[in-house]
Structure 1
Amino acid sequence: MTRVLMITLVLEAIVFGLAVPGMVTVSGIALPLALGLGGAAILLALVAAATLRSGLGFALGWLTQLAALALGFATSTMFFMGGVFAVLWIATVVLGRRIDAAR
């Protein structure tokens, strides 16, 4: 389960980086603000992925999902992408716990 969650967070970091140009060109957000928002979200996702083996990593992972949805206020596409990643995160956590319990 941890590997799949880690991969999800790394892919999320990539999407956060790709959202920066969308914030600037589509939503008209100033470049420094877009870089700050995207950079903070990227940092959060990567720190969550790096610390996923501890309880802190799971908490940061949930916070990353909220950050992904919150980026939707900067560029509307992130509401959809954040929702997709949140569903992936929840499904992985739920199914992973079921598999771990079955062992």
Structure 2
Amino acid sequence: MRTLCSSTLIGEALLIMFAGLVAMKLTDVGTGTIWTVSAVAMLLCVLLCGVITRPGAVYVGWALQLAVFASGLVLPTMYAFGVVFGGLWWCSVHYGRKIDAIKAQRAAAADAAAAAPAAA
């Protein structure tokens, strides 16, 4: 799960950076406000990559997805990107957990197979 979620979050950090550049030119919101909000969101994306396996981190990721969607109030294109990255986040969490379960199952089977000849 860590790899899939981290990839999504890094892509989202880049999206936020480029959205900040666009918003700076197309909206009446102050440049300082745009870059402060963008910097906090990008930093959150990067920091979340490191703690994604901890309890509650996935929920923080969902909150981040909602914030990206809500940024459509300032830059309407972000509604579409919010939906896309929300879908990517869901896929990363859903399939990442499935992959982790399969890896754990295979590791347990390998441990059992390694222990069987030693017992005989």
Shorter-normalised TM range = 0.7 to 0.9
What displacement does 1:101 show? 4.3
Q: RCO (CA 8 Å, sep 6+): is it higher in 1 or 2?
A: 2
TM-score (norm 2): 0.76
Structure showing greater radius of gyration is: 2
C-alpha separation between the residues in 1 aligned to 2:46 and 2:86?
16
Which runs of structure 1 show a deviation greater than 4 angstroms over 4 or more consecutive aligned residues? none
Q: Please tell me the root mean square deviation across aligned C-alpha atoms, in Å.
A: 1.6
Q: Give percent identity, aligned residues only.
A: 28
Matched, 1:16 2:16: yes
Q: Given that residues 49 and 61 in structure 1 are in contact (C-alpha distance below 8 angstroms), is that contact kept between their aligned partners in structure 2?
A: no
1:12-91 → structure 2 map (5 Å cutoff):
12-91=12-91
Q: Given that residues 49 and 57 in structure 1 are in contact (C-alpha distance below 8 angstroms), is that contact kept between their aligned partners in structure 2?
A: no
The amino acid that maps onto 1:7 is S
What displacement does 1:60 show? 2.0
Question: Per the alignment, in what secondary structure is the counterpart of residue 45 of structure 1?
Answer: helix
C-alpha separation between the residues in 2 aligned to 1:101 and 1:92?
14
Unmatched tracts of structure 1, length 5 or more = none
